[in-house]
Amino acid sequence: MVTVLEIYQLLPKTNCKICGESTCMAFSVSLLGRKRKISECTPILEVNFKKQKEKLEALLLPSAGAEETGMIVHPELCTGCGNCVVACPVDVANDPKGAAIGCAPTNDKVIFRVVDGKVVASNIKECRRFGKNRVLCYACIDPCPTGAIEFV
């Protein structure tokens, strides 16, 4: 998991405010939360920061394909076992006669479903990690034996 400090170390650390944040540290927090893009710090685009910028991009790459909640599913790791489908509290609440009791999902309101042997996520906005009353839910990560689900 990438930390704010790791990001901060790679920024120009001049607190020039060009990015619109009051400090580089504040910008690091926004970068980690995917609220901002690296290119919004124009100073780091200059040649003398080339190496740092590349490092920063590599650091943030895994989260580039993530959903708004930060969820990434690695299809190559997924065995399609369905543990996440049945364990996700949103799926349980939205499909009590299907996913909740281990059966195939019976409606479109679930987050996880298995297609062609691999999990696909939809309705991500329903995820408990998202929205006003968010909680740090691990119910899909913990039951996954292969580490195919990740939040960044």
Partner 1 sequence: MSTCPGCALLCDDIEVVVESGRIKETRNACRRGAARIKGCINRLAPTIDQKPSDIESAIKKAAGILKDSKSPMLFGFSNSTCEAQVKGIQLAKKLGAMIDDTSSFCQGLLIEKILQKKFRTCTLEDVRNKADVLVYWGSDAQDSQPRHLSRFSYFPRGESRQRGYEEDRIAIAIDVRESNTAKICKGHFYRIQPKGDREFILALIDALSGKVPAYEPKKILELAAILKKAEFGVIFVGIGLTYSIKEDFDILVSLADKLPNFQIMPMVGHYNMRGFNENLFKETGFVNRVRFHDTAVHDDKYSIIEALREKSIDALLVAGSDPLSSLTRSLIRHLASIPVICIDPCVTMTSKIAAVTIPCAVSGVESGGTAVRMDGKKIGLSKIIESDYLTDEELLVRLMGAL
Give the three-class secondary structure for 113.
strand
CA 49 to the chain's CA centroid: 27
Per-residue binding letters, 40-79, with ligand SF4 (x by CB under 6 A)? -x-xx---------------------------------xx
> How many CB atoms sit inside 10 A of residue 18's CB?
14
Is residue 27 involved in binding ligand SF4 (CB under 6 A)? Answer: yes
Positions that interact with partner 1 (CB under 8 A): 78-83, 85-87, 92, 100-105, 113-118, 143, 145-146
> Residue 14: which of ligand SF4, partner 1, none does it interact with, CB under 5 to 8 A by kind?
ligand SF4
Closer to ligand SF4 at the Cβ: 89 or 106? 89
Identify which of 111, 137, 141 has the alpha carbon closest to the alpha carbon of residue 126.
111
92-121: contacts with ligand SF4 (CB under 6 A):
111, 114, 119
Beta bridge partners of 88: none
Closer to ligand SF4 at the Cβ: 18 or 66? 18
- Two structure tokens written together for 138: 């691990």
Assess contact for 73 and 147: CB atoms under 8 A.
no
